Amino acid sequence: MIVRRALALAALALAASPALAAPERPTIVVGSPDFRPLPIAVAAFQGEGDAGAAATQTAEVVRADLVLSGLFDVLDPRGFLADPAEGFAAPSIRFARWADVGADGLAKARVRRGPGGLEGELHLYEVRAGREVLVKLLRVDGADARSLAHRMADEIVRYYTREPGIFATRIAAIRRGRGTWELVTQDMDGGNQQVLLSERSILMSPAWRPDGREILVTSYRSGRPELWAYRFSDRAFRPLGRQRNAFGGVYSPDGSRIAFTVSEGNVTDLWVMSADGSGARKLTSDPAIDVSPTWSPDGRRIAFVSDRSGTPQIYVMGADGSGARRLTFQGNYNQTPQWSPRGDLIAFTARDERKVFDVFVVAPDSGAISRITQDQGRTNEEPSWAPNGRLMIFRTDRNGGIQLVVSDARGDRQTPVTSGKTDLAAPAWGPLAP
């Protein structure tokens, strides 16, 4: 990811007096080589009443989120002491002291328990301009300080980038136990893991509906692969469509269609149907193995894996099955394509002659390939993009056991988001939180 700091006009809502020239607002903009992370201090959050521990946890998670984004240089809180006389109003803030420790941005908050949950009042300041630029009251159900922190970090990212933050998103994955398969979700940073479904039969290939209300998954509970959908509203798990031996389904970006794979005898082709399971029809009719469809963001193209050239390679075709063309020509085993929500890249897994798996990205129009992982264990696979298309998550064995790692789109910053060993597979990054 290439990001640069540029100067833009100040936020209108919190601009200075109209009689004065509008102060410049530091904005993190994607696409320039002169990027450097924006230095920001996250002061200790103030807990009101019995919310002291929640305030401390909230501040810690906000710092971790901002570090994970790669957009900020988060100052070590051990490197500064906040003046206890400081309040939240801008006149009470000693901006010169924050500038002395190197902060361009300053985040402060107070956390309290409200009706049914936690409340957090986030304050954001531009240190050099000596002004408050954002005040946001956020609420979450229950006592979930992590969720409150993710919401705060999203607001900070939105202010500086003018893009939605992705910290409140969820990751779906399959966990293999002793004779069981589980469909689980977790925060994008590995916290708040929940088991949605536990089966004695195989589960695989989770994929989110674009509105986040359902997760499509392949289940073998009938003895053969079939598409099923888990619905969050009533925790219902229901079959989708009547096609037997169907697997690897993915929703189109508008949620109206599902592309999937059907195995019939020795033939494996791509199919598409309406999101309600009706109107299934073939997209490919090739004697080769065609699997792993992934939609372009505009829903007009589908990338997939086919061995029609002799080895598994990434192909791209129209969403109606027309005009299939080979996209990858390097290596002889390329699989698990995932089209970026930004449309500019397709991430995939490649296996080399040593049987080592690594993550790459390829430009869908030019075919230019870039490497994300190299010499980082024997397995780096199954990439899935964040909804902002700037980060991806994949599984790796680089630290001796399987972990999930979040990387930027260039592979420059890679951060494990699960501690120790995990048995999670097929991570699928969910949509933006409502």
Establish if 30 belongs to a structural domain: no
Confidence category of residue 421, pLDDT binned at 50, 70, 90: low
The tokens describing 408, both together, are 């930027």
Do 218 and 332 lie in a common domain? yes
pLDDT at 110: 96
Establish if 74 belongs to a structural domain: yes
Handedness of CA 373, 27, 339, 256 (dihedral sign): positive
Structural element, H or E, at residue 146: helix 145-161
Do 235 and 345 lie in a common domain? yes
Do 119 and 182 lie in a common domain? no
Do 228 and 370 lie in a common domain? yes
Q: Which of 144, 161, 178 marks a domain boundary?
A: 161
Per-residue pLDDT reduced to its tens digit, 337-346: 999 999 999 9
Establish if 9 belongs to a structural domain: no
pLDDT at 31: 59
pLDDT at 33: 66
| 283, 289, 292, 298: CA torsion to nearest 10 | -30
Contact 372, 357 (CB under 8 A): no
Sheet with strand 236-239: strands edge to edge: 203-208, 214-219, 226-231, 236-239
Establish if 25 belongs to a structural domain: no
Do 200 and 316 lie in a common domain? yes
Establish if 69 belongs to a structural domain: yes
Contact 379, 396 (CB under 8 A): yes
Domain total of the chain = 2
Per-residue pLDDT reduced to its tens digit, 231-286: 999 999 999 988 889 999 999 999 999 999 999 988 899 999 999 999 999 999 99
Q: What integer is the mean pLDDT of 110-135? A: 95
Q: Which residues lie below 8 Å from residue 196, measured CB to CB, with a gap of 6+? A: 182, 183, 184, 185, 215, 230, 235
Do 99 and 218 lie in a common domain? no
Nearest in space to 70 (alpha carbons), one of 121, 10, 21, 30:
30
Q: What integer is the mean pLDDT of 179-186? A: 94
Radius of gyration, CA atoms only, the chain: 23
Do 217 and 335 lie in a common domain? yes
Per-residue pLDDT reduced to its tens digit, 356-380: 999 999 999 999 999 999 999 999 9
Is the per-residue pLDDT at 138 higher than 90?
Answer: yes
Give the domain CATH number at 248: 2.120.10.30
Q: What integer is the mean pLDDT of 304-326? A: 97
β pairing state of 181-187 and 170-176: antiparallel
Do 121 and 227 lie in a common domain? no
Nearest in space to 122 (alpha carbons), one of 114, 96, 132:
132
Stated pTM of the model: 0.90
Is the per-residue pLDDT at 9 higher than 90?
Answer: no
Identity of the residue numbered 310:
G
Q: What integer is the mean pLDDT of 197-202? A: 95
Is the per-residue pLDDT at 20 higher than 70?
Answer: no
Do 208 and 322 lie in a common domain? yes
* Residue 171, helix vs strand vs coil: strand
Is the per-residue pLDDT at 10 higher than 90?
Answer: no
Establish if 176 belongs to a structural domain: yes
* Residue 236, helix vs strand vs coil: strand
pLDDT at 15: 36
Q: What integer is the mean pLDDT of 91-109? A: 95
Q: What is the DSSP letter of 379?
A: B
Do 181 and 145 lie in a common domain? no
Is the per-residue pLDDT at 3 higher than 70?
Answer: no
Tell me how many degrees the CA angle 317-291-341 measures, rounded to the nearest 5.
Answer: 60
In whole angstroms, what is the distance from residue 402 CA to residue 423 CA?
A: 6
Structural element, H or E, at residue 143: none
Do 100 and 81 lie in a common domain? yes
Give the domain CATH number at 52: 3.40.50.10070
Q: Which of 139, 161, 183 marks a domain boundary?
A: 161
Contacts 24+ apart (CB under 8 A), 54-60: 54/111, 54/113, 54/118, 54/143, 54/145, 54/148, 55/109, 55/110, 55/111, 55/145, 57/145, 57/146, 57/149, 58/109, 58/111, 58/120, 58/145, 58/146, 58/148, 58/149, 58/152, 59/109, 59/149, 60/149
pLDDT at 148: 97
Do 100 and 125 lie in a common domain? yes
Q: Domain containing 104: what range?
A: 38-161
In whole angstroms, what is the distance from residue 145 CA to residue 271 CA?
A: 43
Establish if 367 belongs to a structural domain: yes
Q: Which of 128, 161, 194 marks a domain boundary?
A: 161
For 122, 175, 238, 266, 315, the CA distances from 338, given in Å and listed in that order, are: 35, 20, 25, 25, 12
Is the per-residue pLDDT at 170 higher than 70?
Answer: yes
In whole angstroms, what is the distance from residue 419 CA to residue 380 CA?
A: 16
Q: Which residues lie below 8 Å from residue 78, measured CB to CB, with a gap of 6+? A: none
Establish if 242 belongs to a structural domain: yes
Nearest in space to 154 (alpha carbons), one of 93, 71, 211:
71
Q: Please give the share of the chain, as a percent, with pLDDT higher than 70.
A: 92
Contact 409, 340 (CB under 8 A): yes
